[in-house]
Amino acid sequence: MDEDMILEDLTVGIWTIHSDGISCKMPNRFKGHAGTASILAKREVRNDTVWDLPIHIAKKDWVSQNDIINLMQALVIYRGLFSIPRTSENLHQLDEKTTLIALDIVNNKEE
């Protein structure tokens, strides 16, 4: 069976995991495709190193808390499925910091 066929059906919320990245099932929201380089990109926010993609998505008008939680789950699955090399950083802590900051951004937009 073709691996890409299986992965096209692997979704978490509105996010679809592919062998070459993640896309949104709702193209009226997030147009395009986040490849491995985008998924692994980091940035500094509030004096913490975090994943760039969830922070970028958290600033969108349409995003909900659930969308962020699902995106973070999809990113963890993607990294696990495709054996993304571990860095010296603790990925769990990086995921946790990113999730908290992204959810805070979403919450502050809703107020």
Q: What tens digit of pLDDT does each residue of 39-98 get?
A: 999 999 999 999 999 999 999 999 999 999 999 999 999 988 876 665 556 888 899 999
What pTM does this model have?
Answer: 0.84
Give the model's pLDDT for residue 109: 79
Give the model's pLDDT for residue 10: 86
Q: Given a cut of 80, is residue 11 above it in pLDDT?
A: yes
Q: How many CB atoms lie within 10 A of CB 97?
A: 17
Q: Where are the domains of the chain?
A: 3-110
Residue 102 in contact with residue 55, Cβ under 8 Å? yes
Give the model's pLDDT for residue 1: 40
Give the model's pLDDT for residue 86: 59
10 Å CB burial of residue 5 (0-12, 13-18, 19+) is: exposed
